Structure 1
Amino acid sequence: MPSNRLDKDGKPRKNVLQSGLFASALYLEGEGTVQLTISAHVRPYILNFSEKLKGGNFSQLDVDLVLALRSKYGQAMYQQLTQWRFHADKGHTYELDELKTLLGVIDKDGFDKYGKWGEFDAKVLKPAQKDLEKTDLQFTYEPLPKPRRGRGHKVTHVKFSLSVDDDRNFPPGFVIGEEHTTLFDRLVKQFGLRKDQAQTVLLNFGVKEINKRLYEIHLLINDKKVQNVGAYTAKVFGAD
């Protein structure tokens, strides 16, 4: 963070910010909604990121999906890879240092947080890959050249292959709003329903009622009172 404080030599001191994302969460009983207040310290960074996404030909659904990702590397990876989703080969090869810079692993001073391939793979790529499993964009990757034990081969590039899920299979005549596509993805990727089950839920329940029930299920999941999330969610909505 920028700082106006100077050290004894007149050089700017650095500030290090540690803050939670949300300052508060208020559940509105009977409405099925939750009001979240973003911490004042991180609000400028979140809003700036959201505006960057919207300015880069992202739909509101894309923004909602990305901001729901847990890891910063998952968010950054989605932002980078989604630009290749419409290319014929649905993939791209990055030079390793370029990729690290784009993901924020190499900072503006050239410091590499994960200098060894194994660290970068374990701390950045694998978590981001798992994070994106719940979005409409998944990926596999291949280090080049492929590391071999005892051979000392240094990875210089990473080849990504994308899998895009844009088929949400809404039935003919169903009026699709942005809130429906968002809920459809949540039902399938977060709450474990099959696509036909998610369709049934959207056809039989209003948006507010779905959000209310999903919030209640989410609380039970956090309390470890639900073992099979998909089966329980289907039962709650009568879609089993």
Structure 2
Amino acid sequence: MEKAKEKSTSLQVRQHNAITAARHELSAAQLDLYFMVLSKLKNGDQIGTKYRINVAEIFQLTGRNWNYVQLRDATEGLIGKVFEIEENDGLLQVALMSSAKYLKGQGTIEISIAGELLPYLVDLKNNFTSFQLYCVLSMSSKYAKWLYVQFSRWKDIGFMSIDVEDLRYRLHLKDPEGKQPEQYKQWGQFKDNVIEPAMRQINASSDLRVTYSTEKAGKTITKLHFLIKSVSQFQTIIPFEIEEGDQEAIQLKTRMMDIGILDQNLIKRVLDSTELRKKANRCLFDMKIRREKIDNPAGYFRTTLAI
């Protein structure tokens, strides 16, 4: 069986801070597509490059099975989504995507990025945010996704503060022009429906551990202070394919041996199968983030992969 080229075990998505700080108004489906596109970008990509997103890949990573109508609505919204970026000579308004083509019978969407935006996504140099693809895709809350990106931007400093009203605005819960009704206006609602669920998902599913405190003006909570810590032992394992097959195989073999898989014939069987590699990577990731101790890691691995 011909080996498919495998993804790096430390795949990261990098995103320009001008976009990271933008107001969030994307749905969960749109965010999943957006982050998938970001994962495909490479330095040197030219305007007009087509990025192919396989719907099955999204399901394998997230467990969310977006249907055709949901995806069409999502890409239509992304094509209409406009970022505003302050450049040296003026304000740039640019659409996130320029086109999306659904390839018949392939379960694949071919996406083009607006040419004016591409440099901000690709040519990053010193002004970028780095965040791990699997972590952000594994979160179901759109607020958790957006906040995780912000925390990743500030993780080297370890601290982020934001006014509550500014956060409501950036999460698209409050219309700055007052034309739309405000969502979760009361602090208790905002905390229970946005902040706490997001914190739980970020702390359970990512390489960050975040706590927060509040600041009041009188009896009103006006500011949130977040303490951000990276989990140094966290190793993200991405069940994707990229052009680093030999190195990925070495890393995967090492991880299997670390949990007690020493049967070289079994290891070879996993490495020779694209499908088993994906299952192994996913299983090893799940074992890494599970809070309860697994008494027999090798046995759990074999049972999960049915080998």
1:129 and 1:139 in contact (8 A); partners too: yes
More strand by share: 2
Of 95, 102, 126, 2:163 maps to 95
**2:214 maps to 1:143:** yes
Of 84, 94, 104, 2:172 maps to 104
TM-score by length of 1: 0.54
Q: Which runs of 5+ in 2 are unaligned?
A: 1-26, 34-53, 58-62, 80-95, 98-112, 240-253, 285-291
| Correspondence list, 1:177-188, <5 A | 181-182=237-238
Give the secondary structure class of the aligned counterpart of 1:70: coil
Q: Distance in 1 between matches of 2:29 and 2:132?
A: 25
Percent identity reads 18
Q: Distance in 1 between matches of 2:167 and 2:175?
A: 12
Alpha carbons of 1:231 and 1:116: their partners in 2 closer, same or farther (altered >3 Å)?
A: farther
**2:42 maps to 1:42:** no
**2:151 maps to 1:84:** no
Q: Distance in 2 between matches of 1:72 and 1:231?
A: 34
- Map of 2:278 onto structure 1: 211
TM-score by length of 2: 0.44
Of 122, 126, 130, 2:200 maps to 130
Amino acid at match of 1:161: L
Cα offsets for 1:156-206 (capped at 9, x unmatched):
11111112124347xxxxxxxxxx7436xxxxxxxxxxxx97772599553
Pick 1 or 2: higher relative contact order, CA cutoff 8 A, min separation 6. 2
The Cα of 1:53 is off from its aligned counterpart by 7.3
Alpha carbons of 1:158 and 1:53: their partners in 2 closer, same or farther (altered >3 Å)?
A: farther
1:53 and 1:63 in contact (8 A); partners too: no
Amino acid at match of 2:170: L
The Cα of 1:104 is off from its aligned counterpart by 2.0
**2:264 maps to 1:200:** no
Cα offsets for 1:126-175 (capped at 9, x unmatched):
000011021112211111129xxxxx711011111112124347xxxxxx
| Correspondence list, 1:57-72, <5 A | 57-59=128-130, 62-72=132-142
Alpha carbons of 1:108 and 1:121: their partners in 2 closer, same or farther (altered >3 Å)?
A: same
1:105 and 1:113 in contact (8 A); partners too: yes
1:197 and 1:234 in contact (8 A); partners too: no
2:164 and 2:222 in contact (8 A); partners too: yes
Q: Distance in 2 between matches of 1:138 and 1:198?
A: 27
Give the secondary structure class of the aligned counterpart of 1:163: strand
